[in-house]
Amino acid sequence: MLVKRILLALSVLLNLALITYLFVGDNGLGNYQALKADTYAFTQQQNKLDEKAYQLSHEIRLLQSDSEYIEKIIRARLGFVKSNEILYIFPDSKIKIPVGVRE
């Protein structure tokens, strides 16, 4: 009978130690939750990067094939105008004319 009690006490202590390790240990539940949160954050970041890559590849295709889009980009980013156009720049304007474009 004494042997059974000792074995029961040892198994209870072993179970308590294993449960403690499960919740507190390096590979325990806390670390699992942190890794799960990291995985979710990385997945969200990957989705954003995938969307950005898609947008950039779409812009590359437009730049390679669409002359109207190229003209729009040149006008917007470099401030170019056609020979028969006049560009008015107001003091409150958010348009920045690059150096070397003003003549």
The pLDDT of residue 40 is 97
pLDDT digits (tens, 9 = 90+) for 1-54: 889 889 999 999 999 988 888 777 777 787 888 899 999 999 999 999 999 999
C-alpha closest to that of 81 among 101, 67, 59: 101
Burial track 63-84 (b if 16+ CB lie within 10 A, e otherwise) = eeeeeeeeeeeeeeeeeeeeee
The pLDDT of residue 101 is 47
Is the torsion defined by CA of 50, 53, 59, 65 positive or negative?
negative
Is the torsion defined by CA of 38, 44, 47, 53 positive or negative?
negative
pLDDT at position 93 over 80: no
pTM of the model: 0.55
The pLDDT of residue 65 is 94
Q: Which residues contact 63 (CB under 8 A, 6 or more apart)?
A: 69, 70, 73
**Distance between CA 78 and CA 69 in Å, rounded?**
14
Q: Where in the chain are the domains?
A: 2-78
pLDDT at position 76 over 90: no
